[in-house]
Amino acid sequence: MEKRFYTFSRASWLLLCFILVVFAARAQNEETYQNGDVNCDNEVNIADVNTVIDFIFDGNTYNAAADVNHDGEINIADVNAIIGLIFDEYARHIERFTVGGVSFSMVEVEGGTFMSKHSPQVTLSPFAIGRTEVTQALWVAVMGSNPSYHDGVSRPGGPDYPVEMVSWDDCQEFIAKLNEMTGRTFRLPSEAEWEFAARGGNYSHGYMYAGSDDKDEVAWHRNNSGHTTHPVAELIPNELGLYDMCGNVDEFCLDGYSGDYYCNNPLTNPIMQSTDGEHVSCGGHYMTIAVSIGRYGSSSTAIPAKGLRLAMGEPVYDTTLSLSKYEVETNDGLCDEVTIAGGSGLYQVDCNNDEALTITHQDTIVRLDAIDVGQATITVSDLTTGEQATIAVTVNPSEFVMEHFTVGKETFAMIKVDGGTFMMGATPEQEDDATDDERPVHEVTVSSFFIGQTEVTVGMWRAVLGYNPIPYYIPEYSPPSNAAVSCVSWDDCQNFIAKLNEMTGRTFRLPTEAEWEFAARGGNRGHGYKYAGSDVLDEVAVFTGYRYPLVRTKAPNELGLYNMSGNVLEWCQDWFGPYGNEPLVNPVGPESGTLRVIRGGSYYWKESTYCRVSWRMGSDPAPEDFIDNYPIGLRLVMEEDTSAK
């Protein structure tokens, strides 16, 4: 037996010891407590366990302090006795829950003050935190399905794999249902609570990682994970008995992401509310080397490396719920925003007239997209405090001729562009930045047509084709429905349009390059702007950043069209080729070619010149690698329906 013990790793020893204690916990007397302080530092903790294990591995040395049971031997019984003391210290502060046959534990964390990575001093009230990350089994017990990319069903330890592939909003829905099922109030931890718990709370030894200075002992990361998640609690816990606070999956927190929120000021129970849809996640994950105690990410979207850990306790809030606007008057086809202030940060937004308005709620921002004339009342509810506030909305007729369509649950608008004649190419306002591909300037006449008020969204693409074309391993994976779709080839767009035509009975297509530029310039209402709707790019275009670009986030152009500059590049119907000098009527480009036209610039390319209304480029219509389509999307054109005329 002695030789068999020697073959175990330190991590295996500690895991075995904790398991033995769970099933064989026993009362410890005062004498044992005193003897359990092997290191004579007036504490009984994991350091004493390590010391006893060192003596066991040494095998030839006897130490009376390490012989906790006074039986003349240093063995597993002594380790068990010490861990029993530690476990009993925390057992009084662990609450166990069972939902749908799945059990999980919450560990109470005493309040305290610590030095955060971002602030010289943070003070927290007591709270409780999950002993492990939320598992796939618990998620299924609450939600009924498993969203995880690394589905553990057919793998060893399957149900105990951490859930992932969940967004921050998914986590809120899960927690709301869990609270309903248990009658308790669970939530995500604040960033400060997460870091305090990861450090070991008031029992911290100042480790670099959560429970050790050796990350291999406590964290699944790129160099030891095999590029996959692992069942929770396989490695050793930290000083509070919490597992996988570093590595395995990155864990969402309540807080919005802010680089300067903590600054250099002492804080008490800090919680930063999100204003841009981003939330802090902490700990790193199985595909990173830099697992850490503290924030790792700032995206709220679902990827195979993000999960959650539950918290309990009453965070300190400004409980007064308020809105930036209580009355909104707008026109059909336009959008507005209302900002929520105060409250807990967990809000539900409802509208009593979805025929007049489409609402999108992200954190503290409520977007109102007017889709038809009418009146509506929007109710904002704080899910934690129960407070409510309302917004009265009036939608007036649009100044533009519009048609609305609904596919599945997605509604989109097409705006009529009256035919006209314009000068296409490097007109005077473009000259400083224009390229040879934009010359010569030539006269073009186009007939009337309808064009999409916005780019095709992720929601529209899903409603028509049933999938999200953006691969999971890029930052924009799983964006909200009102994000512009991207990573689609020209051929993909043809498939989308064919299916849409079948579903609606209308004739949609991509715009010709001439139609696109005429619409971007504002058609017959154009003011000669350099960009689509303004000479100031930031007023009308999202042209920097790595986030998924939402539609209708900037001002529209003279025709009420959004984001024709920036956001995502847009496919046109034409083959790419050089311009000529002669006047043209309804041109459709060259008869053949190797590249199709793309227009409009994008948030990803971060160059203002690509956002000009005359800028043009060619791209492979069916590349082998999707990244060649990144970030290219589309905007629809529709033939005018003359059947009723």
- Res. 7: pLDDT tops 50: no
In whole angstroms, give the CA distance from residue 562 to residue 544.
16
DSSP 398: P
Q: Report pLDDT digits (tens) over 591-623.
A: 999 999 999 998 877 788 999 999 999 999 987
DSSP 604: T
For residue 103 the two structure tokens come to 């059990």
On whether the CB atoms of residues 298 and 281 are closer than 8 A, the answer is yes
Q: Which amino acid is at 547?
A: R
DSSP 240: T
pLDDT at res. 641:
66
- Res. 516: pLDDT tops 50: yes
- Res. 29: pLDDT tops 80: no
Q: Report pLDDT digits (tens) over 180-211.
A: 999 999 999 998 899 999 999 999 999 999 99
**CA 14 → CA 51, 62, 82, 184, 340, distances in Å?**
12, 21, 11, 32, 48
Q: Which amino acid is at 60?
A: N
Q: Which amino acid is at 272?
A: M
Of all residues in the chain, what percent are helix, strand and coil, respectively (each to 5)? 25, 25, 50
Mean pLDDT estimate for the chain? 83
For residue 548 the two structure tokens come to 């998924």
On whether the CB atoms of residues 22 and 86 are closer than 8 A, the answer is no
- HSE-CB at 438 with a 13 A cutoff on CA atoms is 22
Q: State the CB neighbour count (10 A cutoff) for residue 322.
A: 14
According to CATH, the superfamily of the domain at 402-638 is: paralog of FGE (formylglycine-generating enzyme) (3.90.1580.10)
pLDDT at res. 71:
72
**Count of residues for the chain?**
645
Q: Which amino acid is at 633?
A: G
Task: Flag the least confident range among 7-16, 41-50, 536-545.
Answer: 7-16
**Contacts by 178-181 with C-beta closer than 8 Å and gap 24+?**
178/99, 178/142, 178/310, 181/99, 181/142
DSSP 351: E
pLDDT at res. 411:
87
Q: What's the CATH class of domain 318-396?
A: mainly beta
12-40: average pLDDT? 48
Q: Which amino acid is at 63?
A: N
On whether the CB atoms of residues 319 and 343 are closer than 8 A, the answer is yes
DSSP for 223-265 reads TTS-SS---TT-S---TTS---SSSSSEEEEEEEP-SSSSTTS
- Res. 504: pLDDT tops 90: yes
21-44: average pLDDT? 48
Residue with tokens 């994976």: 477
Q: Which of 321, 325, 376 is nearest to 353 (CA)?
A: 376
Phi, psi dihedral angles at 406 (to 5 degrees): -130, 125
Strands of 332-419, DSSP E: 335-343, 347-351, 357-362, 365-370, 374-382, 388-396, 402-407, 410-417
Identify which has the larger pLDDT, 151 or 635: 635
In whole angstroms, give the CA distance from residue 212 to residue 239.
9
Q: Report pLDDT digits (tens) over 231-262.
A: 998 898 898 989 999 999 999 998 876 554 55
For residue 409 the two structure tokens come to 């649950």
Could you tell me where the DSSP H helices lie in 442-545?
458-465, 490-504, 513-520, 537-540
Beta bridge partners of 273: none
Please provide the distance, in angstroms rounded to a whole number, between the alpha carbons at the two ends of the chain: 94
Q: Which of 109, 169, 85, 133 is nearest to 480 (CA)?
A: 169
For residue 439 the two structure tokens come to 């010359």
Give the rounded percent of residues in the chain with a pLDDT score beyond 90.
50
Q: What's the CATH class of domain 94-312?
A: alpha beta
pLDDT at res. 375:
94
In whole angstroms, give the CA distance from residue 596 to residue 589.
10
Asked if the bond preceding 471 is cis, omega within 30° of 0, the reply is no
94-312 and 318-396 share one CATH topology? no
Residue 552 — very low, low, confident or very high, per pLDDT cuts 50/70/90?
confident
pLDDT at res. 590:
96
Give the pairing of strands 584-585 and 442-446.
parallel
SS3 call for 257: coil
Task: Flag the least confident range among 78-82, 192-196, 487-491.
Answer: 78-82
Write down the domain spans for the chain. 2-91, 94-312, 318-396, 402-638
**CA 568 → CA 270, 333, 336, 344, 598, distances in Å?**
37, 20, 21, 34, 10
Q: State the CB neighbour count (10 A cutoff) for residue 555.
A: 15
Identify which has the larger pLDDT, 83 or 506: 506
pLDDT at res. 150:
86
Q: Report pLDDT digits (tens) over 145-164.
A: 999 988 776 666 578 999 99
Task: Flag the least confident range among 123-127, 234-238, 404-408, 604-608.
Answer: 604-608
pLDDT at res. 629:
59
pLDDT at res. 145:
93
